[in-house]
């Protein structure tokens, strides 16, 4: 009787173990699931490239920094790109390594070119203005200088009201230094989030260059003139993604963005 019970118990235990065929099926399904997941993650990360395809905006532009290769600007001009903003400086000491080459090549190709400064939050606005003015080139017919205001590893988001006030105050110093130098208010580049925290209500006289990857800026942002609608733009002959922009109005009105 005991012997028979052991046989039955052993038999039941043996049946609960998966067969080789079941093990193979589980491994195969896991591999397929992992492959699909990796594919979706890569697809989500890389995103879809975009091009200029709107009939509403005729004045088209790009902006570049050292993250992009030095462009063939004659080729850029042939693709009806009217203007380009080039990163020149950041903070009070950093210089974009590609700036001087892109500036010379772009201007020779006939692309209206301007310099922008990446604002480092809460750092002396006076020092940043001095660094920008010393480094960047500004000629008659170039685009108005621009200040880039956005969150980054160097510019973390903070709920601290005193810190935010310091960010705004030093930005006002930087903006005023440029205004005193040129007699014209600089353009301010920003996105919806940073516009709400640092720009709205503080810089009513500045032209806004707004980044919005989801939708066209509305009338509530009345002083916007440039819309950056893509970080994943594609231009023929250009390796990698590039930022794409539209100017809001006509070629004739575009003159408002040019230095006298």
pLDDT in tens, 88-134: 999 999 999 999 999 999 999 999 999 999 999 999 999 999 999 99
Distances (CA, A) of 179 to 41, 129, 187, 206, 225: 45, 10, 10, 10, 18
Instruction: Please provide the average confidence, as pLDDT, over all residues in the chain.
Output: 87
Which spans in the chain are helix H?
Answer: 2-16, 20-46, 73-78, 99-109, 125-135, 161-182, 192-194
Report which secondary-structure segment, H or E, holds 62: strand 60-64
Report which secondary-structure segment, H or E, holds 74: helix 73-78
Q: Is the pLDDT of residue 25 over 70?
A: no
Q: Is the pLDDT of residue 26 over 70?
A: no
Q: What angle do CA 101, 260, 222 make, to 5 degrees?
A: 95
Dihedral (C-alpha) 139, 144, 149, 155: value to the nearest 10 degrees? Answer: 10
Contact present, 231 and 243 (Cβ < 8 Å): yes
- Measured CA to CA, the distance from residue 155 to residue 153 in angstroms comes to 5
Q: Which residues contact 14 (CB under 8 A, 6 or more apart)?
A: none
pLDDT digits (tens, 9 = 90+) for 124-162: 999 999 999 999 999 999 999 999 999 999 999 999 999
- Measured CA to CA, the distance from residue 170 to residue 128 in angstroms comes to 9
Phi, psi of 244 (to 5 degrees): -115, 145
Contact present, 124 and 92 (Cβ < 8 Å): yes
pLDDT digits (tens, 9 = 90+) for 172-225: 999 999 999 999 999 999 999 999 999 999 999 999 999 999 999 988 898 999
- Measured CA to CA, the distance from residue 88 to residue 136 in angstroms comes to 6
Percent with pLDDT over 90 in the chain: 75
Percent with pLDDT over 70 in the chain: 81
Q: 3-class SS at 24?
A: helix
Q: Is the pLDDT of residue 17 over 80?
A: no
Distances (CA, A) of 111 to 27, 83, 169, 234: 57, 5, 34, 18
Q: What pLDDT score was predicted for residue 157? A: 96
Q: Is the pLDDT of residue 6 over 80?
A: no
pLDDT band at 44 (very low <50, low <70, confident <90, very high): very low
- Measured CA to CA, the distance from residue 259 to residue 144 in angstroms comes to 6
Instruction: Based on DSSP, count helices (H) and strands (E) in the chain, helices before strands.
Output: 7, 9
Predicted structure pTM score = 0.81
Q: What pLDDT score was predicted for residue 56? A: 86
Q: Is the pLDDT of residue 41 over 90?
A: no
């Amino acid at each position: 009787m005991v012997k028979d019970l052991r046989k039955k118990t052993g038999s039941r235990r043996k049946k609960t173990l998966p067969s080789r065929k079941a093990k193979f099926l589980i491994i195969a399904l896991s591999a397929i699931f992992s492959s699909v997941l990796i594919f979706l993650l890569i697809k989500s990360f890389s995103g879809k490239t975009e091009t200029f395809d709107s009939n509403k905006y005729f004045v088209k532009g790009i902006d570049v920094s050292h993250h992009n290769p030095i462009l063939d600007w004659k080729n850029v001009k042939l693709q009806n790109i009217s203007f380009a903003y080039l990163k020149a400086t950041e903070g009070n000491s950093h210089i974009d390594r590609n700036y001087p080459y892109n500036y010379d090549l772009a201007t020779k190709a006939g692309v209206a070119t301007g310099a922008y400064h990446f604002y480092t939050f809460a750092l002396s606005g006076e020092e940043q203005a001095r660094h920008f003015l010393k480094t960047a080139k500004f000629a008659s017919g170039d685009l108005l200088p621009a200040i880039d205001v956005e969150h980054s590893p160097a510019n973390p988001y903070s709920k601290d009201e005193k810190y935010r006030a310091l960010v705004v105050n030093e930005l006002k110093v930087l903006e005023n230094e440029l205004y005193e130098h040129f007699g014209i208010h600089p353009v301010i580049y920003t996105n919806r989030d940073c516009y709400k925290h640092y720009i709205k209500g503080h810089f009513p006289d500045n032209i806004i260059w707004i980044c919005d990857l989801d939708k066209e800026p509305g009338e509530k942002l009345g002083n916007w003139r440039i819309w950056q609608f893509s970080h994943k733009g594609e231009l023929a002959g250009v390796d990698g993604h590039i930022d794409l922009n539209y100017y809001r109005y006509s070629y004739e009105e575009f003159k408002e963005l040019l230095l006298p």
